[in-house]
């Protein structure tokens, strides 16, 4: 799969498309939100890994596709607050129409898509073994996969799917 393009508003007040967020050696597109206990459990690890991947030439972007009408904690104002408080090292974008989540086939939060320099999907797996509670000293599966992709262009053969809350689709 080639990374589907997008053009979405970010919490920084600007619009961002695929070309603007990609890194020279790869890109992690992650679907997250503010209310999900799975995301809350690992957000600090996501931030750490994205910061460290940046030094490897791999960029990251977060997309929030949930329906904020049903889940007010996922509102754009709360996205701005969380990104500011947590000092996200990546853009946090609002997918109001949910078209981007559909194009990627996102199923849950968090959901990770790792692309190589040519924007070809090489990783569709989890951050690590953590679920609602962080697993101490868990192997950094996403980080290791993306370093491998940055160096070789090819993802690991073994990948374990992410688990989390389902995307909250609009009715």
Q: Taking Cα atoms as reference points, which of 72, 76, 4, 86 lies closest to residue 39?
A: 86
The predicted structure's pLDDT at residue 87: 98
Mean pLDDT of 55-74: 97
Query: Nearest 5°: phi and psi at 28?
Result: -105, 120
Query: How many CA atoms, within 13 angstroms, populate the side-chain half-sphere of residue 84?
Result: 9
Answer whether 63's CB lies under 8 Å from 30's CB: yes
Question: What are the tens digits of pLDDT across the range 109-156?
Answer: 999 999 999 999 999 999 999 988 888 899 999 999 999 999 999 999
Mean pLDDT of 50-63: 98
C-alpha distances (whole Å) from 82 to each of 57, 79, 107, 145 are 25, 5, 22, 27
The predicted structure's pLDDT at residue 164: 95
Domain 7-166 matching CATH 3.90.700.10: the answer reads: no
Mean pLDDT of 66-86: 97
Mean pLDDT of 33-57: 97
Question: What are the tens digits of pLDDT across the range 13-42?
Answer: 999 999 999 999 999 999 999 999 999 999
CA distance 62 to 127: 14
The predicted structure's pLDDT at residue 131: 87
Residue 7's DSSP bridge partners are 17
Write out the two tokens for 65. Answer: 């596709």
The predicted structure's pLDDT at residue 75: 97
Give the strand pairing for 15-17 and 7-9: antiparallel
Answer whether 85's CB lies under 8 Å from 146's CB: no
Would you list the domain boundaries of the chain?
A: 7-166
């Amino acid at each position: 799969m080639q990374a589907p393009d997008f053009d979405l508003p970010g919490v920084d007040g600007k619009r961002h498309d695929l070309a603007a967020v990609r890194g020279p050696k790869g890109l992690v597109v992650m679907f997250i939100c503010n209310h999900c206990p799975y995301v809350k459990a690992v957000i600090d690890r996501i931030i750490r890994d994205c910061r460290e991947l940046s030094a490897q030439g791999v960029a990251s972007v977060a997309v929030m596709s949930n329906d904020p009408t049903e889940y007010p904690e996922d509102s754009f104002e709360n996205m701005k607050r969380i990104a500011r408080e947590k000092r996200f090292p990546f853009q946090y974008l609002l997918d109001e129409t949910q078209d981007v989540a559909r194009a990627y086939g996102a199923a849950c939060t968090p959901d990770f898509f790792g692309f190589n320099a040519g924007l070809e999907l090489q990783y569709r797996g989890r951050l690590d073994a953590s679920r609602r509670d962080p697993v101490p000293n868990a192997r950094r599966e996403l980080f290791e996969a993306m370093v491998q992709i940055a160096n070789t262009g090819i993802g690991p053969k073994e990948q374990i799917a992410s688990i989390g809350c389902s995307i909250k689709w609009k009715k």
